[in-house]
A and B are shown apart, each in its own frame.
Chain A
Amino acid sequence: MRALIIDDSSVMRKVIERALRQSGLDLTEVTEASNGEEALEVLRKDAGNSQKIGLIISDINMPVMDGLQFLEARRDQQLAPGVPVVMITTEGSEPFVLRAIAAGAQGYICKPFTAEQVKARVAPLIEAV
């Protein structure tokens, strides 16, 4: 499975990739984006791929385009419909969670997190696709 990880921190992108691999997910490729705008471009280009991105993990607090704006733009532009999106963020307050869910996020993990928490949130979403 291919995954897209969106976070402005290169360290956190690597930490999340490691947690996904520790979760036992069969990741064949990980594509990274440092903000929502870059991620939208990745999804536009991915539309023609035979093996499409099957999981999106996104931060919220990012420069240029944040994670909530990314979710709303993805929904409005109908990019990667049906692909599960999990937010991994320090923003755990209710308004952010509700807005993310309304914009299409299926999972929400607050930093700090453990690999076990990532597995518990992500695995059921992958199995359901």
Chain B
Amino acid sequence: MTAWQNKQPEWVARLDAAVSEVFEMMLARNCSPAEIADAIAPCISARILFSGVIDGECVLFASESVARATAEALLGIPSEPGDPMAGDAIGELCNMIAGGWKSKLGSSEAGCAISPPSIAIHDSVIDLSAEEGIRRFYSFEGHVFGVHMNF
């Protein structure tokens, strides 16, 4: 059994807490776990790598409209289709969630480093149903995004 399988319930709870904290403090929105969907429409993803005591990744994926809603909430100004800030907002959201999750680990595990986010645009549906790891979906004001963590 791998480290994440042993600690999955605890790490999921920390992920939920990190997501909620980021949305309350930075976006002034409530965000809570949503029903699991296996696939998300053509979307933007951001990937953060953990290295050191913990090796793994945190991937956040959202549709373009959810990315724009995130940018609007972060910046307090409207975001139009094609806004380059939308992808950047998803990258920063992933960065803060991964960092918040890491900060909630025990001191021995928190010794891992996290990379800057890499952002990708996808033309087709992302299906993570066969992927191992922690897969969670979250909703704020009806906007749903996913977080996948693998170790």
Contact = CB atoms under 8 A, between A and B. Distances in A.
Whether A and B are associated in the same complex: the answer reads yes
Interface of A: 8-12, 14-15, 18, 61-63, 89-95, 110-114
A90 B98 contact: yes
Interface in B88-105: 88-89, 91-92, 95-96, 98-100, 102-103
B141 to A, nearest CB: 18
Given A18-B75, A110-B103, A112-B26, A11 B85 contact: yes
B92 A93 contact: no
A92 B95 CA distance: 13
Contacts of A18: 75-76
The winner among B21, B75, B95, B107 for most chain A CB atoms within 10 A is B95
Interface stretch (B5-13, B108-116, B123-131, B143-151): B108-116
Q: At the interface, is chain A mostly helix, strand, loop or mixed?
A: loop
Contact of A9 (B22, B88, B102, B110): B88
Contacts of A93: 102-103, 110-111
A107 B100 CA distance: 19
B116 A63 contact: yes
Q: From DSSP, what is the main secondary structure of chain B's interface residues?
A: helix
Most chain B C-beta atoms within 10 Å of own C-beta, residue among A15, A90, A110 = A90
Contacts of A9: 88, 91-92, 95, 117
A63 B103 CA distance: 21
Contacts of A89: 99
A110 B110 CA distance: 14
Contact of B88 (A10, A63, A95): A10
A94 B111 CA distance: 9
A95 B53 CA distance: 14
Given A11-B85, A93-B111, A110-B103, A61 B116 contact: yes
A11 B71 contact: yes
B5 to A, nearest CB: 24
A114 B25 contact: yes
A14 B95 contact: no
29 contacts: A9-B91, A9-B92, A10-B88, A11-B75, A11-B85, A11-B92, A15-B92, A18-B75, A61-B95, A61-B115, A62-B116, A63-B116, A90-B96, A90-B98, A90-B103, A91-B99, A92-B99, A92-B103, A93-B102, A93-B110, A111-B95, A111-B96, A111-B100, A112-B21, A112-B24, A112-B26, A112-B96, A113-B25, A114-B25
